[in-house]
Structure 1
Amino acid sequence: MPKILFFISTGLGWRTVGQRIRDAIQLQGDNQHEFVSFSASRLGRRLIWHTGYHTDDGLHIPIFDPYTVVSWQANKFRSRIREFDAIVAATQAQAAPFVRNPHGVPIFTVIDSTRRLYKTEFGGSHIRDAAIAREGTLFQDSEHIISISKWAANDVVNHYGISPDRVSVVPVASQPSSYPVTAFQPEGRLNVLFVGGDFERKGGTDLLEWQTSHLHRFMNLHLVTERSAQRSEVPNTTWHGPVPNEKVIRELLPNTHVLIHPTHRDCSAIVVAEAAMAGVPSVASRVGGISELIEDGVTGYLCQIGDRQRFISSVENLFKDRNKLRDMGREARLRACRIHEPTVVYKEIVKIVERSLASRRKVGRMRLGQPRPLAG
């Protein structure tokens, strides 16, 4: 088995995904691999070009590309590259310090989106064509691109020109299936959970209006978010504040009947995968790669961004039809166990690495075996 360095971002949901992969490595006893969580420093983040994905009211001086800042800070890891047979890096910025290493160690870049998609679908109008071109060069220099969604993988192939045989889709890793599962509730009010640090971008403002005007009649809304204002103005709503991921999946999800995720901009949503693993169906926006996490009408409901009537009716249908709620939760969990179980995700990544390295060795042997041309 090749010796792999997993070099994973600590930003947003990647911290959680990385933790699941690290747990899977330990569970499998693959002690030769090394896992490192790494992102730009706080100062570094202030100096880089944002993708336009986040809202940030603090001081921000967009001077450097994220690739540059991470490369500066990753020197101590770059010097050890020859110790490994391959590097799996999430995301593009984490791959940047390694792609043109002098030792020829192949880099497997894990992505959730591309800069072009940020610009065209999320309104990142400040993202320059030169930055998109630089990302294309990084993809070309990578041995393989591992995308968490077909949505992003298709963009890598169709708009960046990467050969399909160098692009794979591996869904995000959720919590293990051994974690607690929600209990079916045949009657009574629904407990509905919202998780989103960036409250406005995740559709929290829309959700408060829906809860105030209609949903409060039959559901208890639980909000996990950093926002703290106007907490008392929404009926039948509990504000939990920022909550560690482990508490969400061990304490909140087992008492949740439906996850609601009315996000406006998202590449994917690990919380949807986590809810599914807990046997909780989701009602979510059809944006980015989220539509690949939910089988509409089977494991949850998909709605257009901001579609008030669709979101409200979807939750109300599950309140009225408890058999549907039970069936959706069961199907969501079965599907999650097949594709989001951490050991499944980890093994699939290792298979991609092993397959690619075997192909490289085969090509190398073929080249060595080619006859030299005769002298003229």
Structure 2
Amino acid sequence: MRVGLLSREYPPDVYGGAGVHVEFLARELACLVDLEVHCWGEGRSAGVVRHRPWTALDTANDALRTFSVDLSIAAALAGRELVHSHTWYANLAGHLGKLLYGVPHVVTAHSLEPLRPWKAEQLGGGYALSGWSERTAIEAADAVIAVSGAMREDILGCYPALDPARVHVVHNGIDTALYRPDPGTDVLTRNGLDPHRPYVLFVGRITRQKGVPRLLRAVRDIDPATQVVLCAGAPDTPEIDREFRDLFGELSRVRAGVHWIPRMLPRADVVQLLTHAAVFVCPSVYEPLGIVNLEAMACGTPVVASRVGGIPEVVEDGRTGLLVDMDDDFETSLARALDRVLGDPATARRMGEAGRERAVREFGWDAVARRTVALYEEVVKQA
């Protein structure tokens, strides 16, 4: 089967969970189908075609620039028997490919524009365009993949015109050979951390979705012996960037051992930071699954996360970590949950071991790819 896999992110330009998903899914799919990846970027390599926004739109709204990439991708899909798009950045390309070439279109929904109203802060009027492209593609898709059961409910809630029989759950995966405990500590010392002091770790983008401002307020009052490490970059807007910097400055003035790593680290560095964290924290206000929690679990680290979206399908409350309700007392409850894990190293170690076991047992990418190809075959047969 000749498949076109469509995504904004693809190595080396991966900055979020959807990009990680596409990277590893593509690696496994290439062993099962004739795969061609279409993504943003420059140039062409074996099995990968990169597309850039039209230069005439360099100063235009980002949504229009995205649509120009989608047109370029759609024009290049001739000969594909099925197209599979990821995120609104590529959904329109998949939809146009379906119409242009008469082939099935599969959509994987990693998040939903109606549930991310803060994106209007980043895209302005382009937010209406991103929502339109997502709705158009999802409602017309031959199949929609939800990365969690909670995500499936969200999809059907946002798009009630969609036939529930066309929405399938295929969980995100994790490469447990790459994400595994690393005993080294050179990355810690290179980034100014004290390897003899416990630390709470956050890894993610500076966005409203990831709940970073709430985290910065919550950790003000956790055990003062604990370091706070923020691998946080790619702010959505200048406004959220300024808010983050202000809160980081305030936090640094009231407690010692606060570290901000604003650059994107190599995967091996992130693995080592995950391995040695006393606890990984995920304070997201919206998370269809939360692949970063799987990464932490695969490295043997307990997770404290908000009880939203698909996170409870990954983090087993009381077994691989602790879940915190997203309510008015969230920041206080988050701080107390972090202190519970920090204050009980034996339980934290057991949670970390259970998390690694769960990641290996249930979230391998080879299984994700096989389930995805089985869906492709079903869709093509019905077309």
Partner residue, 1:51: none
Tell me the alpha carbon deviations over residues 43-85 of structure 1, each in whole angstroms, 9 at most, x when there is no partner: 79x88xxxxxxxxxxx87477495x33433324423x2x2x22
Matches within 5 A, 1:35-114: 35-38=37-40, 41=52, 61=61, 64=64, 66=66, 68-78=67-77, 80=78, 82=79, 84-99=80-95, 100-114=98-112
Q: Are 2:84 and 2:94, in contact at CA under 8 Å, matched by a contact in 1?
A: no
Distance 1:339 1:74, change over 3 A: same
Counterpart of 1:13? 17
> Does 1:298 pair with 2:300?
no
- 1:221 matched residue in structure 2: 228
Counterpart AA for 2:152: A
The counterpart of 2:348, out of the listed 313, 325, 336, is 325
Displacement of 1:327:
2.4
2:281 corresponds to which of 248, 255, 260: 260
Deviations 1:247-293, CA, capped at 9 Å, x for gaps: 34432112223101223444442211211121222111223333332
Instruction: Return 160-169 or 7-16, whichever deviates more.
Output: 7-16
Q: Which runs of 5+ in 2 are unaligned?
A: 10-14, 42-50, 184-195, 234-243
CA distance in 1, matches of 2:223, 2:214: 12
Structure 2 length-normalised TM: 0.74
CA contact (8 A) 1:181 1:278 kept: yes
User: Equivalent residue for 1:143?
Assistant: 142
Question: Quick one: which amino acid aligns to residue 204 of structure 1?
Answer: V
Amino acid paired to 1:34:
E
Structure 1 residues 238 and 134 mapped into 2: Cα distance closer, same or farther (>3 Å)? closer
Change (3 A) 1:340 1:42: farther
| Partners of 2:71 and 2:36 in 1: CA distance | 21
- 1:262 and 1:137, CA in 2 relative to 1: closer, same or farther beyond 3 A? closer
Equivalent position SS for 2:300? coil
Alignment match, 1:204: 212
The structural deviation recorded for 1:109 is 0.6
Structure 1: which amino acid aligns with 2:316? Answer: E
d(CA) in 2 for partners of 1:328, 1:117 = 31
Alignment of 1:270-349 (within 5 A): 270-305=291-326, 307-349=330-372
Shift of residue 130, structure 1, vs aligned partner: 8.6
Count of aligned positions:
336
For structure 1, the 5+ residue unaligned runs are: 48-58, 361-376
Deviation at 1:23, TM superposition (A): 2.9
Q: Distance in 2 between matches of 1:204 and 1:215?
A: 19
Q: 2:181 maps to what in 1?
A: 181
Return the TM-score normalized by structure 1.
0.76
- The residue identity in structure 2 corresponding to 1:213 is D
Gap change, CA 1:322 and 1:353, over 3 Å in 2: same
Q: 1:358 to 1:134 in 2, by over 3 A?
A: same
SS of the residue corresponding to residue 356 of structure 1 reads helix
Secondary structure of 2:99's aligned partner: coil
Question: Residues 87 and 111 of structure 2 are in contact (CA less than 8 Å); yes or no, is this contact kept in structure 1?
Answer: no
Query: How far, CA to CA, are the matches of 1:33 and 1:321 in structure 2?
Result: 48
Structure 2 match to 1:374 = none
Q: 1:151-196 CA distances to partner (integer Å, 9 max, x unpaired)?
A: 332233344332222111122232334542267xxxx853321112
Structure 1 letter corresponding to 2:102: G
User: What is the Cα-based RMSD across aligned positions, in Å?
Assistant: 3.5
Distance 1:133 1:160, change over 3 A: farther
Q: 3-state DSSP class of the match of 2:6?
A: strand
Alignment match of 1:22 (pick from 23, 26, 31): 26
How many angstroms apart in 2 are the aligned matches of 1:74 and 1:203? 33
Partner of 1:172: 172
| Paired residues of 2:222 and 2:339 also in contact (CA < 8 A) | no
Looking at structure 2, the residues matched to 336 and 85 of structure 1 have their Cα atoms a distance apart, in angstroms, of 33
2:84–2:108 contact (8 Å) kept in structure 1: yes
Partner of 2:263: 242
CA distance in 2, matches of 1:204, 1:98: 33
CA distance in structure 2 between the aligned counterparts of 1:274 and 1:127, rounded to whole angstroms = 32
Q: 1:75 to 1:128 in 2, by over 3 A?
A: closer
Give the equivalent residue in structure 1 for 2:44: none
